[in-house]
Structure 1
Amino acid sequence: MDQTAAFQISVLASGSSGNSLYIESEKKKILVDAGLSGKKITSLLQEIGKTPEELDAIFVTHEHRDHIHGVGVLARKYKLDIYANEKTWQAMDPLIGIVPTEQKCHFEMGKVLTFGDIDIESFGVSHDAAAPQFYRFHKANRSFVILTDTGYCSDYLRGLLKGADAYLMESNHDLEMLRMGAYPWNLKQRILGDYGHLSNEDGALVAADVLTDQTKRIYLGHLSRENNMKELAHLTMEGILREQGFAVGQAFEIYDTDPNQASELFSI
């Protein structure tokens, strides 16, 4: 690892079919969510030159399958600690199989946990899960934010997340593709509601409120297979940020993510 960097990060997978992110500091190696099979996550880690044996823990955001599918398998096989809040544990426990009690760690919403050389800040989001929470990772005056799986982002939350070095920001759906698509009306309403997912436009407007001169990277995450395209998400984010006066491609870069291929490791 680059000794001048606070973190190295890879978005292993992001999308409606499964989500997982790898983050490494000098002392710790972490997964945030494991929403694919243990075998697939092992393969994605190999793409960036890492192995599950190196991991220290899994931090879970919420109990939906596309975030926890491989959590139990990986925890059992590699004796990994799992961190989640109490309500998420209650919802997740029956879904991931037996995990030894000593590997079940509680990390409540709105708290900061010091994990080795990383301070991890948890914050609640607006999503239809038991108690969904995401994370901001802090080290050496640098930070990285994960914000997906939310239908609404309050002014308070925008203030809390302002000025990170890099973001994984939700760009779940294109509004017209969703409205004209084959999903049943009740599912469309769920996605469009305050407890659903941010559209390309909504994600871009959140980004416009949280970016500062500190920010160098935005990754577009949790794209719907049926109701979005990478090109649309990217063009919407870039277009809205340019309209707001941001120097896209100069001050910072926008990056795509993939549901089946790990992004290259990057340092902040």
Structure 2
Amino acid sequence: MSMHFSVLASGSTGNAIYVENEEHSFLVDAGLSGKQMEGLFQKIDRNMKDLSGIFVTHEHSDHIKGVGILARKYGLPIYANEKTWSAMSPLIGKIETEQKFVFGMETVKSFGSLSIESFGVSHDAAEPMFYVFHQGDKKLVLVTDTGYVSDRMKGIISNADSYVFESNHDVDMLRMCRYPWNIKRRILSDVGHVSNEDAAIAMSEVAGDRTKSIYLAHLSKDNNMKDLARMSVAQTLESRGLMIGESFDLYDTDPQSPTELVAI
């Protein structure tokens, strides 16, 4: 069996990732309106009626905006850890008990031949966690919304076939922007978001001989640009002996347009 994925939307305004195999299909987060999410599904030629469920990473609005409406409209199971459920329940409206599933941190749930592994990240949410999808010997890592990448995280996410990896901001752009200092401090902190350079350093430490692609995700609309992120990440990776196009390929993601649905 093969596993396919598409980064439906990624950025400050909303995040959602689609993953499927022949048996099941899942969303990780639904940070846009229900109507927007349905439009993104149409762009990758998929129907939300076929979804098996939604995995939630944390309760920030750019990750859960559409969770409630989609769960109610399509009768979808929702998976999140207990602290995230407590934090997001007032924000997403009523969810029927039979649709609510607790997925603890650093555990694995299997759906036929597809296994999903959860792991904690460092972000200013109740108990943020992201996911590794395993299909046979294939491995897809999703990791954004973290202030740094710890050694524990590196051990879990190492040597994946594909990564969706946060590359949130350019430090100089952030320092010069009009954000209040408390917001800048939060973004730069260990519970904020990783910069282009810090992301690239972490990528160089986890990418392995099976790694084929890295998607740069969750770019700040005010403090980053696709070309700048790609250039900064590529320069740092190449300084550490990893050549883009030889070691693996780098891809952009977008706040409004999905990436191509690709197989791993």
The TM-score range, normalised by the shorter chain, is over 0.9
In structure 2, what is the equivalent of residue 26 of structure 1? 22
Residue 254 of structure 1: SS of its match in structure 2? strand
Alignment of 1:59-78 (within 5 A): 59-78=55-74
CA positional deviation for 1:58: 0.2
Give 1:116 deviation, angstroms.
2.6
Q: Partner residue of 1:260?
A: 256
Candidates 216, 220, 223, aligned match of 1:220? 216
- Structure 2: stretches of 5+ with no match in the other structure: none
Give the one of 38, 41, 48 matched to 1:45.
Answer: 41
**Native 8 Å contact 1:118 1:137 kept in 2:** yes
**In the alignment, what sits opposite 2:186?**
190
What's the offset of the Cα at 1:139?
A: 1.1
- 1:158 Cα shift? 0.9
Letter of the aligned partner of 1:195 in structure 2? V
Normalised to the residue count of structure 1, the TM-score between the two structures is: 0.97
Partner of residue 92 from structure 1, selected from 88, 91, 94? 88
RMSD over equivalenced CA pairs, Å: 0.7
TM-score scaled by structure 2?
A: 0.99
Aligned-partner residue type, residue 257 of structure 1? T
Aligned mates of 1:156, 1:35 — CA distance in 2: 27
Is this contact kept in 1: 2:141–2:163, CA < 8 A?
yes
Q: Distance in 1 between matches of 2:248 and 2:22?
A: 25
Q: Is the 8 A contact 1:28 1:117 kept in 2?
A: no
Unaligned 5+ residue runs, structure 1?
none
- Identity, % of aligned positions: 56
Partner secondary structure for residue 134 of structure 2: strand
What aligned pairs does 1:1-268 form with structure 2 within 5 A after superposition?
Answer: 5=2, 7-268=3-264
How many angstroms apart in 2 are the aligned matches of 1:247 and 1:171? 18
Residue aligned with 1:249, SS = coil
**Cα distance in 1, alignment partners of residues 110 and 20 from structure 2:** 14
Deviations 1:63-89 (A, max 9, x none): 000000000000000000000000000
Residues 137-185 of structure 1 show CA distances to partners (whole Å, capped at 9, x for unaligned) of 0011000001100001111211221000000000000000000001000
**C-alpha separation in 2, matches of 1:20 and 1:37:** 11
Task: Give the conservation status (yes or no) of the 8 Å contact 2:168–2:196.
Answer: yes
Displacement, 1:251?
2.8
CA distance in 2, matches of 1:184, 1:61: 27
What do the CA deviations read for 1:77-107 (whole angstroms, capped 9, x no partner)?
A: 0000000000000001000000100000010
1:117 counterpart letter in structure 2: S
Report if aligned partners of 1:167, 1:218 keep a CA contact under 8 Å in 2.
Answer: yes
> What is the one-letter code of the residue matched to 1:174?
D
Does the 8 Å contact 1:26/1:117 carry over to 2?
Answer: no
The answer to whether the 8 Å contact 1:137/1:145 transfers is yes
- The 4+ residue runs of structure 1 with deviation greater than 4 A are none
Amino acid at match of 1:62: H
